Amino acid sequence: MTAGATLKAPLLEASRVGKRFGGRAVLAGVSLAVGAGETVVLVGENGAGKTTLLRICAGLLTPDEGAVTVRGRIGYCPQDVGVLDLLSADDHLVLFGAGMDMPRKRALSEGHRFLDELGFPPGERGLVRDLSGGARQKLNLALALLGDPPVLLLDEPFQGFDRGAYVSFWEHVEAWRKEARAVVIVTHLLAESHRVDRVVELAVTS
Q: Is 49 helix (H, G, I), strand (E, B) or coil?
A: coil
Q: Is 190 in the site for other proteins (CB under 8 A)?
A: no
Total residues at the site for other proteins (CB under 8 A)?
A: 37
- Residues numbered 74 to 133 that lie near other proteins (CB under 8 A) are 74, 76, 78, 80, 82-87, 91, 94-96, 98-103, 127
Angle at the Cα of 59 from the Cα atoms of 53 and 127, rounded to 5 degrees:
95
Query: To the nearest whole angstrom, how small is the minimum distance from the Cβ of residue 62 to other proteins?
Result: 4
| Residue from 67, 180, 189, 190 in contact with other proteins (CB under 8 A) | 67
Q: Is 141 in the site for other proteins (CB under 8 A)?
A: no
Other beta carbons within 10 Å of 191? 9
Query: To the nearest whole angstrom, how small is the minimum distance from the Cβ of residue 50 to other proteins?
Result: 17
In angstroms, the CA 138 to CA 142 distance is 6
Q: Which residues 6+ apart lie within 8 Å of 2 measured at CB?
A: 30, 31
Query: To the nearest whole angstrom, how small is the minimum distance from the Cβ of residue 128 to other proteins?
Result: 10
